[in-house]
Structure 1
Amino acid sequence: MSRQSAPAPSPPATRREVVTETLHGVEVDDPYRWLEGDDETVREWTDAQNDHVDAVLDDDRRDRLRPRFDDLVEVADYGPITVREDRYFATVREPGADHARLVVRGAPDGEDRVLVDPNAWAANRDDDRPPRSMAWYVPSHDGDRVAVGVTEGGDENYDVRVLSVPDPSETAPNADATDGYGAGVEEVAVFPERGRVNANSLAWEADGEGLVYVATGGAADGAQMDKEIRRFRFADGPESEEVLLEHDDQHVWPRVTVDPDSGLLAVAFSEMVGGTEWYVRVDGDLRPVLTDTDAETSVRFHDGTAFVSTDHEAPRRRLLTCSVERFREGDLSFDECREVLPEGEGILRSAVPTPDRLLVHRQRDAHSRLSVHDRDGAHLRDVSLPDYCSVTWVSAARDAPEAFFGVTGFDRPPAVRGLDLADRAGGDPDEDDSGEAAPAESTAIDSVDLSVPDDLVVEQRFVDSTDGASVPVFVCYREGVEVDGPRPTLLYGYGGFRNSVTPSFGRFRLPFLADGGAFAAVCARGGYEYGEPWHEAGMLAEKQHTFDDFITAGEALCESGLTDSDRLAVAGGSNGGLSVGAVVTQRPDLWAAAQCAVPLLDMLRFHRFLLGESWTTEYGHPEDPEAFEYLRAYSPYHNVDPDETYPPVYFTTAASDTRVHPSHARKMTASLQHEAEGGPFLLRTKSETGHGVGKPTSMIVDEQTDSWAFLYERLDVEPSGGNE
């Protein structure tokens, strides 16, 4: 098979206006800086690029793939269960619906009572208005109210709406309403300022009559980095909102939590990828608690105890405790706390307390383990889980021995499971024949109703990368599907910001696997698969290790005979899009195609846009001479070689992205189209969406259809008739 398909239509013309800057004594040319703007000329260029995508992509492949993807969303999706006393909150997307609804139940598997239905909002039925979606929700401690984050156009700037919650045991009609609220649901308050408020930066006060939250300015006025901690009491009205703290450090983000028993407000200040300092608010002032440390630390309050999860002297994390009263006193050291869960072989991801138990989630070699412990940390039993799975979330009731978790895997659609943590008769766990505690079995509550083929193989391989690193790579494919020659293969990765790549179910991968394809995921350095050392090995001056791991994984897949460089594609988004851009410019011969979504690609100017300045703790600062050297060495936009032939690349970005500026994808596309050989190089820009939050299902299907049609053509895959 030839690496070059039939000649593609010529790309749109792009004017070249070289801007030359001298940075640290080095002249740097930027011929497409005008694409950083947002004027009519840029919009016309973007529209022309979208037309070019439609001209290049094969309509026959799109038409044959689209019905298969439509079938894959005609099933319900389920979000985490959050328990507040006798109320069970969850999100449910009905088959074929664009958005999930927020519901409340009187029991984990009880009847859904609708609280919010974004599908009924007028904006989602009017083509002339940007679509609105509900991105998150936080119930009050007693469950009587719930705060929801509403975004317009998916831009991650939210209105916060506080709603009353009816008693789920009372029957009420769930008739559609134009305001999108269920029967008996009323708006208690609305915070009309759109900013980057999210579920981690909002906390209910103990009495449920007020909120504390972190507010920022909006992206439009460039104020996303201006932060305030505010307190709002419903009885006082929005005009009496109190500013507790103004915070202007661009690299540090506050988050808040409240102990529902004592009402203690705790505030954490953490860099995007650095250490965490904790304070408590006492008598109107912030009192330092854990401040003299570079450790990353999280705190959870429960029944008079502060549970402190930290990587202090434990790269894979450990769990400590102290009393809430001692935490309130301040000036706490880690040595004063009692160690409940020592550092283990796996990464401690969470420890969720109930009245008598801890449900502990660890990841070992990037897949999950769950175990039940007593409150002193003694191991009681493991929880039965499938091989190579990911526990995606864990929650529990505060005052009852019940817990819930989500589980998924490459061969396992997402499912919601329940777990009874009550003592068994006799007090001790049952034992199996070996004398070990028998695994605890969970119960099914909700699951995505998609079948997985019996012949789907899931493997974990380890490849030797630079500096002696052994890097995990997951591989899955259909053993029973015959393929003529090497398999068409898609390698995915991320590698940054402590984000781990773990087993995940991809419904839109099912047709590709059915048509003989293979999917691989590399756990590149920069993530958190092996704790903070793994992260640090792929950040700042060590960032090249991330790209080495991608390249090594790709080479190993070829050497194993699974695929070859004519049928191997690479994909990633956001920081993963940076990884894709780097490995395409460093090893263009290794890939038959690349997908690069909402990426960072100009690493000498990323800090000048949106949230970019806060990422300098991960990447280094271009204004620092030492960081400039290594950033310039791998910055994809600055390493396009006009004498090199590059594989086809499909870039995607969003006009309303408030996280990564769309100019990265624009400038890189222009550079490849007009400065390099190979391709085609395509750029799809979506309007009325952002970095990925709140996309309607119909938009996701559109994107997936285009994305896979591109891969099918470039990897020489013919679509079959089904997904199984």
Structure 2
Amino acid sequence: MHDPPVTERREVVEEMHGEEIRDPYRWLEDDNEGVHEWVERQNEYADRVLGSDARDQLAPRLETRAAVPEYGVVTPRERGYFQTIEAADEDHAKLCVRSDLDAAPTVLADPNEWPDGESLDWYTPSPDGSLVAYGRAEGGEEQYDVTVLDAETGETVEVLRDCGRAGPEGFAWSDENFYYVTSGSADEGTQLEKQIRYHELDAGESRAVDDPVLTDDVGEHVWPSLGYTDDTLVVAFHAGWTHSDVYRWESDGPAPADGELVRLVADTDASFRPNVADGTVYMLTDYEAPRSRVVACDATATETDPDDLAELVPESDETLTYLVVAGDSLVVQSQRDARSSLSVYDRDGDHRGEVDLPEDTAVGRGDLTGDPEAPEFCFRAQTFDRPPWVAHGRTDTGETTTISERDPESDLDLVVEQRFFESADGTEVPAFVVHRDGVERDGDNPTVLYGYGGFRINLTPSYDRFRVPFLEDGGVYVQANLRGGAEYGEDWHRQGMRENKQNVFDDFYAVAEGLVDADYTRPERLAAMGRSNGGLLVGAAVTQRPDLFGAASCGVPLLDMLRFHEFLLGESWTVEYGSPEDPEAFEYLRAYSPYNNVEERAYPAVYFETAAGDTRVHPGHARKMTARMQAANTGEEPILLRTRTETGHGVGKPTSMTVSEQLDRWAFLYDQLDVSET
């Protein structure tokens, strides 16, 4: 029997839409000395429980697998090829450039030489590659300073301080100057306050692109993405993950003087993701195409009817997910049953060919790049049994060459199978089932079921070096493609959002029950795993179906769905979840909100993880849920919480911290699922 720290109840009772809501642990939402002391006691308790033989045995195996090189995707430009590279003995990836693909890389920025806790999280080179901008943050907080470098000399050209949640999608070069999106700070609770600015490097100053459309027309809870072509700034305002408004900046020149934002595409309830080049706006859209298609218009157009946009790549039975411009071509990424393919078209939409990829390959959304000025593109791909590799392709010759790759850390012979499971409403839900060759379906294999189910995030084949020991030791890893993602297009997404969110949970249970029925495992040896929105999934699983799981790993989660909109980026997620302020949304949020559905009973073992510096999901979710479950649990299994400092939601972690996190996570699972080292 584990004895967790006792948490004081400080009852808060409020009425929401006629219902009395009790919140005895609201005080854990604060950031004060009392909360810090409580967090320290919980960390000490987690240390005691996790300090097992399994952890000692796993430590050298995970540390060895951490000591390998990591390669980011290459971004091609006229003056060089940019890439992040992390050596086997380093904690952070360096930003590098090489003059050609065969040349040795030159280091432009090395976070390993910066103060502890600082990271380089993104970069974007100028159109010709003479300059490169990157985002530097502290403690994984995603609050950036933006540094501009001369890519030839490595010298710092300029540093813009305190740009908030700046990032590559909100950055657009205009010759040697640039536009960028800046936000308020997490500390001041102003992350959702955004502004588009124009920065002149020679003058060393930024000016706001002030226009009432930023708040009055498109609403304040949107995220702008930027593109620039032929003296025209193109802005897409994304309201959540289902709707976009596309505008252009109309003025006499590139600087924001005496201009205004003019709607480029007429308003319609659809998503548009622009990519601009040579005066044309290419857009991936789900307008009249749930699995998406590619359309285009002139960058100087005004209020173009969506029906009048030129269709370049029509909708098909594959789901289009991303596109880049490469010289006179478009490289389009698509997915069939969560597996990636890459197709090349000319700019008029004529099909030129396919990129040869191995079976069960995934190319991430941020892992495809192109040079609009040259017939070159690059991608980073991976499979369940092959570590990520980086390749360079040419649209003119069709040739593809691997640039960077490392050998697998194990000679494990894996079996990868995609199975389909029937959900509560009859929907067929796919899942990848991965295990070593020779594992028998005897109903007793330790199994980890991973899911997400939201925000159009697709779960595709992935290589995880820290997962390998579990597979070596006879474990079964299952990755479920739940509704809420976009594996089968926007319809699949909408079937798992707002009032349909319960479908996501039911899909998860269907896969879990199917694994038991197929004799892969039994509930006592089955663990649920998820992070962020996937942490919400795990929280729902242990409160709705505690009988179905023997353990649960729940990272940086949303758990109090009646108050999520009160903190950090939460208000922007009401598009996906609905708002607790809305009486209709309150009903379904209240029905599944994990924190509000904890009751006195025996629960499976749960390992919660959160981060003090998380600027997306407030750590109060995990704190409150831990306290409530510890108090209500009548069983003997532990409810643990690990809180880490000097890190955030997941970006910018040094490798040493990643090893520590993975070690705790897998030690917990080994103990609870009774996994033995082979």
Answer whether TM exceeds 0.5 for this pair. Answer: yes
CA–CA distance in 2 between the matches of 1:344 and 1:362? 10
CA–CA distance in 2 between the matches of 1:716 and 1:345? 43
Amino acid at match of 1:409: T
Change (3 A) 1:608 1:147: same
8 A contact 1:412–1:452 mirrored in 2: no
| Residue in structure 2 matched with residue 305 of structure 1 by the alignment | 280
Equivalent residue in structure 2 for 1:685, among 643, 650, 668: 643
| Residue in structure 2 matched with residue 220 of structure 1 by the alignment | 187
CA–CA distance in 2 between the matches of 1:159 and 1:454? 43
Deviates more, 1:280-289 or 1:452-461: 452-461
| Residue in structure 2 matched with residue 234 of structure 1 by the alignment | 201
**Structure 1 residue 669 and structure 2 residue 637: aligned?**
no
Shift of 1:447: 1.2
| Residue in structure 1 matched with residue 227 of structure 2 by the alignment | 257
Change (3 A) 1:483 1:341: closer
Q: How does 1:125-524 map to 2 (within 5 A)?
A: 131-166=117-152, 184-205=153-174, 207-208=175-176, 210-238=177-205, 241-245=207-211, 247-248=214-215, 249-259=219-229, 262-283=230-251, 284-322=259-297, 324=298, 327-392=299-364, 393-423=367-397, 442-453=400-411, 455-480=413-438, 486-524=444-482
Shift of 1:693: 0.7
8 A contact 2:441–2:520 mirrored in 1: no
Change (3 A) 1:242 1:380: closer
8 A contact 2:595–2:625 mirrored in 1: yes
8 A contact 1:250–1:614 mirrored in 2: no
8 A contact 1:481–1:515 mirrored in 2: no
Shift of 1:466: 2.3
Equivalent residue in structure 1 for 2:60, among 64, 67, 79: 67
State the SS of the aligned residue for 2:264.
strand
8 A contact 1:250–1:613 mirrored in 2: no
8 A contact 1:139–1:147 mirrored in 2: yes
Deviates more, 1:467-476 or 1:656-665: 467-476
Amino acid at match of 1:255: S
Amino acid at match of 1:354: A
What is the CA RMSD across the aligned residues, in angstroms?
A: 1.5
State the SS of the aligned residue for 1:220.
coil
8 A contact 2:71–2:390 mirrored in 1: yes
| Residue in structure 1 matched with residue 256 of structure 2 by the alignment | none
CA–CA distance in 2 between the matches of 1:490 and 1:188? 48
CA–CA distance in 2 between the matches of 1:394 and 1:452? 27
Change (3 A) 1:688 1:488: same
CA–CA distance in 1 between the matches of 2:414 and 2:577? 38
Shift of 1:213: 1.0
State the SS of the aligned residue for 1:276.
strand
CA–CA distance in 1 between the matches of 2:668 and 2:412? 28
| Residue in structure 2 matched with residue 90 of structure 1 by the alignment | 83
8 A contact 2:85–2:93 mirrored in 1: yes
Shift of 1:317: 0.5
CA–CA distance in 2 between the matches of 1:151 and 1:245? 29
Change (3 A) 1:66 1:227: same
8 A contact 1:317–1:343 mirrored in 2: yes
CA–CA distance in 1 between the matches of 2:341 and 2:39? 46
TM-score of the superposed pair, with normalisation by structure 1: 0.90
State the SS of the aligned residue for 1:615.
helix
| Residue in structure 2 matched with residue 34 of structure 1 by the alignment | 27
| Residue in structure 2 matched with residue 172 of structure 1 by the alignment | none
CA–CA distance in 1 between the matches of 2:305 and 2:390? 38
CA–CA distance in 2 between the matches of 1:230 and 1:653? 33
8 A contact 2:76–2:378 mirrored in 1: no
CA–CA distance in 1 between the matches of 2:122 and 2:395? 28
CA–CA distance in 2 between the matches of 1:373 and 1:278? 24
Amino acid at match of 1:305: T
8 A contact 2:447–2:478 mirrored in 1: yes
Shift of 1:32: 0.3
Shift of 1:441: 5.9
CA–CA distance in 2 between the matches of 1:251 and 1:241? 22
CA–CA distance in 1 between the matches of 2:323 and 2:578? 33
Amino acid at match of 1:381: G
TM-score of the superposed pair, with normalisation by structure 2: 0.96
State the SS of the aligned residue for 2:521.
coil
Shift of 1:399: 2.6
Amino acid at match of 1:348: L
Change (3 A) 1:304 1:265: closer
State the SS of the aligned residue for 1:692.
coil
Shift of 1:244: 3.2
Amino acid at match of 2:141: D
Change (3 A) 1:304 1:273: closer
State the SS of the aligned residue for 1:244.
coil
| Residue in structure 2 matched with residue 572 of structure 1 by the alignment | 530
Shift of 1:556: 0.4
Shift of 1:372: 2.4
| Residue in structure 1 matched with residue 598 of structure 2 by the alignment | 640
Shift of 1:481: 5.2
Shift of 1:656: 0.7
Shift of 1:375: 2.7
Shift of 1:385: 1.2
State the SS of the aligned residue for 1:352.
strand
Paired-residue identity, %:
50
Deviates more, 1:244-253 or 1:11-20: 244-253
Q: Kindly provide the CA deviation profile for residues 406-460 of structure 1, in whole angstroms up to 9, marking residues without a partner as x.
A: 111111210001223224xxxxxxxxxxxxxxxx663211013324535200000
8 A contact 2:412–2:472 mirrored in 1: no
Amino acid at match of 2:343: S
Equivalent residue in structure 2 for 1:618, among 576, 579, 585: 576
Amino acid at match of 2:5: P
Shift of 1:379: 2.4
Deviates more, 1:447-456 or 1:690-699: 447-456
Amino acid at match of 1:56: V
Give the gaps of 5 or more residues in structure 1.
1-6, 125-130, 167-183, 424-439
Equivalent residue in structure 1 for 2:553, among 595, 598, 606: 595
Amino acid at match of 2:73: P
**Structure 1 residue 705 and structure 2 residue 663: aligned?**
yes
Give the gaps of 5 or more residues in structure 2.
252-258
8 A contact 1:558–1:564 mirrored in 2: yes
8 A contact 1:75–1:450 mirrored in 2: no
Shift of 1:80: 1.1
Count of residues paired in the alignment = 664
Q: Kindly provide the CA deviation profile for residues 118-159 of structure 1, in whole angstroms up to 9, marking residues without a partner as x.
A: 0011x12xxxxxx10001001111211111100011101111
Amino acid at match of 1:253: W
State the SS of the aligned residue for 2:322.
strand
8 A contact 2:328–2:372 mirrored in 1: no
CA–CA distance in 2 between the matches of 1:334 and 1:484? 55
Q: Kindly provide the CA deviation profile for residues 494-530 of structure 1, in whole angstroms up to 9, marking residues without a partner as x.
A: 0001101111111101000000001001111111111
Change (3 A) 1:483 1:331: closer
Amino acid at match of 1:251: H
| Residue in structure 2 matched with residue 178 of structure 1 by the alignment | none
